[in-house]
């Protein structure tokens, strides 16, 4: 959420930021709304002040036993009551209106985000590893089904399209991958492991930016929503809190199931495990001070990259362009892993710095050392990694001519074997 005071003090900057986003919002509209609010607030305060001081006079008169004087002031102040109530009501309305006006506005982009319309204009920053050209490469669906361990038909019977049933060594592989990632992030990179709920109320989703605008992407369960990512829960752990500066940076990781309606992606990635309604992901979240969030962003991206490096999966790191950067993010790096079955790089991680955008929505603050007033924290989130897609990448990159899958070195202890092959 944008800071109305910042918009007021530099409307041109806001309008320019919206232009980069291709969004319609105008500083002048918001300022007009806020000016109404401020004028009303001042009138309200004046009326409250008068009512309060006169009520005190009544108390004083009564204390002295001067009923006459008390009655006189009571008559005087009686008329103020409705006025105060009216102004308070209006104040609530105008404050809510302003918040509702600000909530759908996307975050301002970081200065170094390249201009571009869509994902084709993202900037490739670096590559790691050599894309494997496997003769007659099969995709993960062929491989998984041939192994008898990946069953889309069974999943459809249970839950419809965009679900999968994994069995035997592939079920175990999912668990091994998640364990490997969590161990790396907690033991090497110092993230605290968290096991959060996956059903959440609306407020946390407003906090991270999924609501009010993107409810079509979410599944609903009664009063709850199914969380589309652990970013929601991990980030909202600091909602409405004031942290001390020593507590920062706060780094958290969680392995959770994620649920997405995929409303806008009918027909896309219909084959295989790339785009599911339910998938598991190891998430990384950092809460930092504003001056350190840029370096934390680099660090977090490095943590996600390290997973791919240790799994020896070729990837490239992309800086998303203006048109492809998500609503809440100021800047986003995507990691794209090489998939021999598709012959291209596919997104496997997305690491974003939202700066104070989510913090404002959540009222997540910290007290800078030596400062009286609290400031908003910066929040960052990244996948480290999407487990389902990582499995896809392992299957396709480690496939053998006979259809078996070599187990990556780092997973061998967790899998208890060095090859996944069909039961005979």
Q: Which residues bind RNA (CB under 7 A)?
A: 4-5, 34, 38, 41-42, 44-46, 48-49, 51-56, 58-60, 62-63, 70, 74, 77-78, 81, 85, 92, 242, 365, 367, 372-374
355 is catalytic: no
Query: By C-beta, is 186 or 202 nearer to RNA?
Result: 202
User: Tokens standing for 163?
Assistant: 């679900």
Helices (DSSP H) in 136-291: which residue ranges?
140-147, 152-159, 168-183, 202-208, 230-236
Residue 4 C-beta: closest distance to RNA, Å:
7
User: Tokens standing for 390?
Assistant: 């990582």
Residue 291 C-beta: closest distance to RNA, Å:
16
Query: By C-beta, is 94 or 392 nearer to RNA?
Result: 94
Q: Which of 347, 375, 404, 419 is catalytic?
A: 347
Q: Which of 21, 260, 346, 361 is catalytic?
A: 260
Sign, Cα dihedral of 300, 305, 311, 315: positive
> What is the number of helices (H) and of strands (E) in the chain?
14, 18
Question: Which candidate, 159, 134, 191, 61, places its Cα nearest to that of 314?
Answer: 134
Query: By C-beta, is 103 or 123 nearer to RNA?
Result: 103
Residue in this structure with the two tokens 């199931």, named with its chain if needed: 257
350 is catalytic: yes
Distance of CA 152 to the CA centre of its chain: 29
User: Tokens standing for 153?
Assistant: 């038909």
Please name the helix (run of DSSP H) or strand (run of DSSP E) that holds residue 75, with its range, or none: helix 67-78
Residue 23 C-beta: closest distance to RNA, Å:
23
Q: Which of 86, 175, 275, 292 is catalytic?
A: 275
Q: Which of 280, 336, 389, 396 is catalytic?
A: 389
Q: Which of 286, 349, 350, 383 is catalytic?
A: 350
Query: By C-beta, is 279 or 366 nearer to RNA?
Result: 366
Residue 99 C-beta: closest distance to RNA, Å:
11
What is the Cα gyration radius of the chain?
A: 27
Question: Which residues is 318 bridged to in the sheet?
Answer: 124, 334
Is residue 153 classed exposed, middle or buried when 0-12, 13-18 and 19+ CB atoms within 10 A define those classes?
exposed
CB 160 within 8 A of CB 137: no
Residue 79 C-beta: closest distance to RNA, Å:
9
Query: By C-beta, is 19 or 81 nearer to RNA?
Result: 81
361 is catalytic: no
Catalytically active residues, by annotation: 260, 275, 347, 350, 389
């Amino acid at each position: 959420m944008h800071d109305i005071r910042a918009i007021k003090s530099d409307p041109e900057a806001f309008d320019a930021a919206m232009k980069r986003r291709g969004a319609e919002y105008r500083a002048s509209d918001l300022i007009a709304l806020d000016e109404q609010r401020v004028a009303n607030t001042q009138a309200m305060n004046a009326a409250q002040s008068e009512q309060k001081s006169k009520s005190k006079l009544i108390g004083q008169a009564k204390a002295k036993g001067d009923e006459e004087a008390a009655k006189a002031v009571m008559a005087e102040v009686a008329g103020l009551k409705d006025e105060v109530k009216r102004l308070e009501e209006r104040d609530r309305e105008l404050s809510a209106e302003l918040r509702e006006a600000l909530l759908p506005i996307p975050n301002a982009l970081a200065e170094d985000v390249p201009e571009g319309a869509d994902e084709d204009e993202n900037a490739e920053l670096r590559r790691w590893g050599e894309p494997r050209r496997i003769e007659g490469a099969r995709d993960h669906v062929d491989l998984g089904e041939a192994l008898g361990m990946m069953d889309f038909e069974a999943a459809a019977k249970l839950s419809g399209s965009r679900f999968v049933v994994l069995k035997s060594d592939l079920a175990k592989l999912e668990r091994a991958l998640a364990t490997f990632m969590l161990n790396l992030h907690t033991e090497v990179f110092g993230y605290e492991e968290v096991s959060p709920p996956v059903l959440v109320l609306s407020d946390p989703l407003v906090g991270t930016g999924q609501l009010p605008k993107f409810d079509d992407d979410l599944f609903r369960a009664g009063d709850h929503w199914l969380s589309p990512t652990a970013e929601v829960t991990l980030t909202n752990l600091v909602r409405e809190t004031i942290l001390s500066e020593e507590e920062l940076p706060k780094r958290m990781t969680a392995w959770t199931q994620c649920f997405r309606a995929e409303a806008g992606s009918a027909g896309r990635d219909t084959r295989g495990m790339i785009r599911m309604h339910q998938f598991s992901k190891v998430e990384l979240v950092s809460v930092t001070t504003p001056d350190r969030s840029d370096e934390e962003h680099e660090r977090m991206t490095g943590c996600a990259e390290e997973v791919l490096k240790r799994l020896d999966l070729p990837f490239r790191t992309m800086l998303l362009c203006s048109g492809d950067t998500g609503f809440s993010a100021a800047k986003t790096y995507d990691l794209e892993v090489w998939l021999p079955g598709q012959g291209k790089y596919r997104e496997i991680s997305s690491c974003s710095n939202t700066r104070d955008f989510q913090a404002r929505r959540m009222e997540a603050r910290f007290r800078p050392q030596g400062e009286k007033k609290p400031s908003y924290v910066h929040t960052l989130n990244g996948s480290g990694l999407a487990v389902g897609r990582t499995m896809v990448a392992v299957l396709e990159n480690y496939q053998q001519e006979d259809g078996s899958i070599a187990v990556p070195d780092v997973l061998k202890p967790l899998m208890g074997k060095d090859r996944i092959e069909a039961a005979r």
